A and B are shown apart, each in its own frame.
Chain A
Amino acid sequence: MSLTAPIVDTETVLSVENLSVYYGNFLALKDVNLSIPQHYVTAFIGSSGCGKSTLLRCLNRMNELIFGSRVLGKINYRGTDLYAPTVDPVDVRRQIGMVFQKPNPFPKSIYENIAYPIRINGYQGDVEELVEQSLRDAALWDEVKDKLKQNALSLSGGQQQRLCIARALAIEPDLLLMDEPCSALDPISTARIEELIQQLSQQYTIVIVTHNMQQASRVSQMTAFFNTTSDEAGSGHGYLAEYGSTEQIFSDPAQDVTRDYVSGRVG
């Protein structure tokens, strides 16, 4: 996948500056600096435990729901400091949606799963129309249009995940965060969601965490590779090792660790 435009030309949605995250006294992630360009898919890759989910959760302030977590540094979202005391985390999450690793539809009807966030956020237009539109955007409409009243948990895992994506899209987020959205899915569902991500990237800005190198290279234009330091105590912290265009990270990485990781030679 080649870049359609040089990176410098796009607007930056979000920029992370010197971000460190603690869980209690444990430093999980240290000094991250990166910026997320608009209408791009940015992939976070790296071995388990290096802080990808942690960083993702910081981007929409979900991390503060975890007891004992502490965020240092700055995140700028379209010119405003995301962590400024005047900023309401509810507004942040309203703008920056999230899809989780495990599908987590509400135990309500398929329709209600989508209509609920629409209503709760005070949508003024036709709710039913927007529900249909969201389901179409998530490539799920044809499969569920005849059973909207059914419980969402009766859907297959892949359908549930697309429902969760539809739910996130329904409130028209500016930025969509996805934490390993395909890890619980079969190859066919995965392919559908990857296709979906590519379509969505024309309208939305997406950040996706993935362990699947092919997936990262297929869907993303930017890739951030995270790594863990191994200090003498054995409890290393995560850090951003390298960030650049996906093409560069996969074909010509600047660092050896990145090359080893993307080529599957992880030491």
Chain B
Amino acid sequence: MSENLAVSRPVSRWKPQRKLSQWSERIVYCLFGAFALLSIATTAGIIASLIVEAIEFFKVVPFTQFLFDREWTPLFANPQYGVFVLIFATLMTATIALSVAIPLGILSAIYLSEYAPPRLRRWLKPALEILAGIPSVVHGYFALIFVTPILQALIPGVEVFNALSAGLVMGIAILPLVASLSEDAIFAVPQSLRQGAYALGTTRREAIQNVVLPGALSGIVGACILGMARAVGETMIVTIAAGQNPRPINPDLSFLDPRISVQTMTSFIVQVSQGDAPVNSIEYKTIFAVGMTLFTLTLLLNICSFWFVNRFREKYE
């Protein structure tokens, strides 16, 4: 077939290098496929090792105890394994963080894409993305050394290590992510929709509120859920600034006091890994049980985000 085609062209001024490009095409295909496979295999390996060790853990500690114990004292002589102690602490710091990151992130995204003059936007957007690259250990010490003393001066009863300071700074840390992704979503709303709105006599606020934001909603919610996943998995800031104090779940809800030190899932994992828990000891296996819980939580959030973005994506064309 291809030979016939070649013969039918009398002038041989065109000689595409099909052979070479076919080969390079095939090599590139295999190479990239291998890399894709590698990353999938790594993820699968991590999950498998988590599951295997978690199963080992649950052979010793019954699942009901893991869920319903009211305290988290795995390193004590008489250990208790109520993982909700850690989950609540995690959710508390994450909630504080998100109550900073989501409103500020969305507002700055709206400013950047709708109000900022294009020249300013060209500078601010990359600056925002650089901000996202600040190592979290820096944020952690910023919380401990700078924010906590301010909080202590303002609010009575704030401990040196506390959930509030860690949460607030974590909010600042994930703000660029939320802002940048939301901005992408808002910027992706076609200009023609904005023009359509303005041509109907809407003010800028009305156009943003009723046309632009609904159009970008799925992307913004996706950004927020991703920010939530980041907040839940954030390690360094909470380890440095929130301390290592698992609060028993008491009916007086004192474990939800943000002024005092708490222990999140991530900071527990750091604590145990820093000590010298012998391999295969129960302390060692706890890490994997907690890690598994953390993984499940973030996975759920990611699935939520994925589902939401697909479900509510407004098609413009």
The residues of A with any CB-CB pair to B shorter than 8 Å are 60, 62, 65, 67, 90-91, 93-95, 97-98, 100, 102, 104-108, 116-117, 120-121, 153, 164, 167-168, 171
B123 within 8 A of A: no
Find out whether the CB atom of A107 lies under 8 angstroms from the CB atom of B314.
yes
CA distance A232 to B130 in the complex (A): 47
Find out whether the CB atom of B206 lies under 8 angstroms from the CB atom of A97.
no
Q: Which residue of A lies closest to B211 (CB)?
A: A106
* 16 A-B pairs in the complex with CB atoms less than 8 angstroms apart: A60-B199, A67-B118, A94-B200, A94-B201, A95-B201, A97-B200, A100-B199, A102-B192, A104-B192, A104-B195, A105-B196, A106-B197, A107-B315, A121-B201, A164-B196, A168-B199
Chain A residues closer than 8 Å to B99, beta-carbon distance: none
Given contacts A67-B117, A67-B118, A107-B314, contact A90 B193 (CB under 8 A): no
B198 within 8 A of A: yes
B192 to chain A, nearest CB (A): 4
Q: Which residue of B lies closest to A154 (CB)?
A: B315
Find out whether the CB atom of B316 lies under 8 angstroms from the CB atom of A93.
no
Find out whether the CB atom of B210 lies under 8 angstroms from the CB atom of A98.
no
Given contacts A102-B192, A116-B210, contact A107 B199 (CB under 8 A): no
Chain B residues closer than 8 Å to A100, beta-carbon distance: 192, 195-196, 199
The residues of B with any CB-CB pair to A shorter than 8 Å are 117-118, 190, 192-203, 206, 210-211, 214-215, 314-317
CA distance A143 to B60 in the complex (A): 69
Chain A residues closer than 8 Å to B317, beta-carbon distance: 153
Chain A residues closer than 8 Å to B200, beta-carbon distance: 93-94, 97, 116-117, 120-121, 167-168, 171
CA distance A97 to B202 in the complex (A): 11
CA distance A95 to B199 in the complex (A): 10
B27 to chain A, nearest CB (A): 42
Q: Which residue of B lies closest to A177 (CB)?
A: B199
CA distance A108 to B193 in the complex (A): 11
CA distance A94 to B202 in the complex (A): 8
Find out whether the CB atom of B202 lies under 8 angstroms from the CB atom of A90.
yes
Chain B residues closer than 8 Å to A117, beta-carbon distance: 200-202
B275 to chain A, nearest CB (A): 55
Chain A residues closer than 8 Å to B194, beta-carbon distance: 65
Find out whether the CB atom of B201 lies under 8 angstroms from the CB atom of A104.
no
CA distance A8 to B283 in the complex (A): 96
Q: A65-B195, A100-B195, A104-B193 are in contact. List 14 more A-B contacts (CB 8 A).
A: A62-B198, A65-B198, A90-B201, A97-B199, A105-B196, A106-B211, A107-B214, A107-B314, A108-B214, A120-B200, A120-B206, A153-B316, A153-B317, A171-B201
A48 to chain B, nearest CB (A): 19
Chain A residues closer than 8 Å to B117, beta-carbon distance: 67
Find out whether the CB atom of B210 lies under 8 angstroms from the CB atom of A93.
no
Find out whether the CB atom of B193 lies under 8 angstroms from the CB atom of A93.
no
CA distance A104 to B195 in the complex (A): 9
Chain A residues closer than 8 Å to B202, beta-carbon distance: 90, 117, 120
Q: Which residue of A lies closest to B189 (CB)?
A: A107
Find out whether the CB atom of A62 lies under 8 angstroms from the CB atom of B195.
yes
Chain A residues closer than 8 Å to B118, beta-carbon distance: 67
Chain B residues closer than 8 Å to A120, beta-carbon distance: 200-202, 206, 210
CA distance A94 to B203 in the complex (A): 10
A89 to chain B, nearest CB (A): 8
A104: contacting residue among B196, B206, B210, B315, CB under 8 A: B196
B36 to chain A, nearest CB (A): 34
A53 to chain B, nearest CB (A): 12
B182 to chain A, nearest CB (A): 18
A107 to chain B, nearest CB (A): 4
B196: contacting residue among A67, A106, A121, CB under 8 A: A106
Find out whether the CB atom of A90 lies under 8 angstroms from the CB atom of B195.
no
Enumerate the 8 nearest inter-chain pairs by beta-carbon distance, A residue then B residue, closest first.
A94-B201, A98-B199, A117-B200, A107-B314, A104-B192, A104-B196, A93-B201, A67-B118
